[in-house]
Chains A and B, each alone.
Chain A
Amino acid sequence: MSAVKRIALKEAKQEAARSRLDGVTRPEGGAWITSARENAMARLLEMGLPGRRDEYWKYTRPDPLTQAAVPTAAVFEHDDTPVFEEIDRLRIVFVDGVFDAEASDSLALTGVEIERLESAATSDIHWAQGLYGALEERGQNPVERPLAAFNTAMASEGVLIRVTGRPERPINLIYRHKSDCSDVIFHHVVRLEDGADVTLLENGPAAARLNTVMEIEVGAGAGFHHVRAQGRDHERHAVTHMFARLAADSVFKSFTLTANGKLTRNECVVELCGDDAVAHVAGACLGDGDFLHDDTVFVTHDAVNCESRQVFKKVLRNGATGVFQGKILVKAGAQKTDGYQKSQSLLLDGDSQFLAKPELEIYADDVACSHGSTSGAIDDEALFYLRSRGVSVVDATDLLTLAFLAEAVEEIENPELAEELYGRLDGWLTRRRSR
């Protein structure tokens, strides 16, 4: 691309950002958050909105996520028990982005302080002051993520969680969707003090269109465990970003299940800043028909003897599309790095497609990094073996599909939570049979 063309393209993106913000009411708040929002706004105006010509958006059209008009999404009616219902947890419920006090539990839990962004924003100083937007800003380099800056500038709802101990129950953010045209922005901040440990659950479709940012600061020796089940509403659009920074000896584990949805882009940006830290990011997705799911992961190793692991599995049929963009960046000096990346798709028919861009960029000389990306159909040999034992072709296919996804689900350490998600996967496959 010529320099002239590049400048013209940048200007067009900036213009798109300006016109997108034109006439939009900006949230109000106290001094600390106003300054964070203004900084994010400046970042966004400089970067501009993502466009179809951007390399980082080569496989996924950003338009439905960036445009002013909300693409509507019908609410998915079902009478299944919501996921995590059997788990003893602290519930924080939002309906189309609005906090539902009645459906939520009291926000009191030993070892953790939980506050809603809306109330925290009115104060002039807050513990989240140095964090809100800060990890997002760090995550803008070397790849721009304008929709995350947009989120920081515009979000008025979310939760701020400061973990000081080891709360005995998980915290569950529940996102209900009731309106066909809801357009929701959440910005969460989680800070784990040294040695703290928490499990955070998220579930539900949230809105017709969703933009979520979660910033997670993991202190030395702390553990963050995250399990997310994105809602099943077929027409929903969502972009989510997780920005995590890990101190020495800390652990970060995140798993996401995505079933259905017209467009989902889940970005995860992890920075291993302290020695001996561990980050595992995993996901399983199931798509049927008008479905695009994009996992974009960027892991930076900037300390010695850290481990990172990415395991993403996608089951696609009837023209569904899966995207994986995963990068491991090992900075100079990040010796003894153990980086692993696996992205696989199971294509249940010839109409579906999987687009993968695995990347390694390594500036240290004593590291072990590997990546593998595959795309394939159900294994005929395994299918025949199962059938020869009397298992019907439909049951055998489902069994092998679940087996394919198992490697990702196994990344969830808590067996009770893993069982919940297996139940979801099984349910999805069972429902597909009657069609």
Chain B
Amino acid sequence: MLEIKGLKVELEEEDKQILKGVNLTVEPGKVHAIMGPNGSGKSTLSYVLSGRDGYKVTEGSATLDGQDLLAMDPEERATIGLFLAFQYPVEIPGVGNMTFLRTAVNAQRKARGEDEMSATEFLKVIRAKAKTLKIDAEMLKRPVNVGFSGGEKKRNEILQMAMLEPKMCILDETDSGLDVDAMKLVADGVNALRSEERGFLVITHYQRLLDHIKPDVVHIMADGRIVKSGGPELALEVENNGYADILAEVA
């Protein structure tokens, strides 16, 4: 589904290489986790895949179902089924959460040549999905992420994911800033979306999120490369011994 081959990326502003040849394939129905120390390039990978400005791809490719992601605008990537749950969801004063979600859902439907969702239908669907994430009507009415707690912002990301039903979900440190209860809620939301057709790439610092969202494959990223891949046991190894041992081993 998601295929990344030899991806090399520099910062546009300065001549600094962040990704130094990333290879990664996520199959439908699978959950891949990327772990790694600070500054290893995990978040950059998520931004480059979703089309954020400020990065220059110097080599390699990234495709979703064979379609060249890197040639597309961010909105086109979303339309073909890519979703990024932000590490720091953006506050947008003046835009109601509900308006935002409905605009997004219908923009994608329209771009795919599907009928737009009516206001009544939308309301029915969103209420049901918000309820399972414990997002109340008040939160849906408020401006996007404005005044939301850390946990509320992350739940709101998962709600967007549930509404947009993407094929390929990237979660960038969704566990950061969450207490145990909130993490459980977010993980339940993600698990509810797991299916045969959908792939996940979960970026995290810590193993604990992976207790709740069980990965099929775990990758260790360091200095712009994936240095080791393995099963869920790799995450436990990191938890117990830190990154130092693994990095020493592959060096």
Contact = CB atoms under 8 A, between A and B. Distances in A.
Interface string B84-99: 1010011111110001
Contacts of B50: 388
B79 interface: yes
B165 to A, nearest CB: 11
A400 B103 CA distance: 12
A18 interface: no
Given A385-B89, A387-B51, A391-B107, A399 B95 contact: yes
The 4 A-B residue pairs with the shortest CB-CB distance, nearest first, are: A403-B94, A390-B78, A406-B94, A389-B104
B164 interface: yes
A380 B74 contact: no
A103 interface: no
A392 B90 CA distance: 17
Contacts of A381: 90
Contact of B79 (A390, A400, A404): A390
B75 interface: yes
A385 B86 contact: yes
A403 B93 contact: yes
8 contacts: A384-B51, A386-B104, A387-B74, A388-B50, A400-B92, A402-B94, A403-B92, A404-B94
Contacts of B51: 384, 387-388
Contacts of A385: 86, 89-90, 92
Contacts of A395: 103, 107
A387 B73 contact: yes
B204 interface: no
A407 interface: yes
Interface residues of A, number: 23
Contacts of A396: 75
B103 A382 contact: no
Contacts of A380: 53
Interface string B208-221: 00000000000000
Given A389-B164, A399-B99, 6 more contacts: A387-B51, A388-B52, A390-B111, A393-B75, A395-B103, A405-B94
Give chain A's interface secondary structure class.
helix
B108 interface: yes
A406 B100 CA distance: 14
A381 B92 CA distance: 9
Nearest to B111: A390
A385 B94 CA distance: 15
B174 interface: no
Nearest to B103: A391
A384 B77 CA distance: 12
Interface in A393-435: 393, 395-396, 399-400, 402-407
Contacts of B104: 386, 389-391
A403 B84 contact: no
A407 B94 contact: yes
Contacts of A384: 51-53, 74, 90
Given A388-B50, A390-B107, A399-B103, A382 B92 contact: yes
A55 B106 CA distance: 51
B44 interface: no
Given A380-B53, A384-B74, A389 B92 contact: no
A392 B74 CA distance: 9
Contacts of B73: 387, 393
Contacts of A406: 93-94
Contacts of B92: 382, 385-386, 400, 403
B81 to A, nearest CB: 10
Contacts of B111: 390, 392
A405 B94 CA distance: 8
B75 A387 contact: yes
Interface in A343-389: 380-382, 384-389
Contact of A400 (B52, B78, B89, B95): B95
Contact of B75 (A391, A399, A403, A404): A391
B183 to A, nearest CB: 23
B90 A389 contact: no
Nearest to A381: B90
B80 to A, nearest CB: 10
B99 to A, nearest CB: 8
A406 B108 CA distance: 25
Nearest to B112: A390
B122 to A, nearest CB: 15
A394 to B, nearest CB: 10
Nearest to B94: A403
B159 to A, nearest CB: 12
A390 B75 contact: yes
A384 B74 CA distance: 8
Nearest to B80: A390
A390 B164 contact: yes
Contacts of A400: 92, 94-95
A428 B160 CA distance: 29
Interface in B23-52: 50-52
B96 to A, nearest CB: 9
Which of A392, A400, A402 gathers the greatest number of chain B CB atoms within 10 Å? A392
Contacts of A403: 92-95, 143
A390 B108 contact: yes
A393 B78 CA distance: 13
Contacts of B83: 388
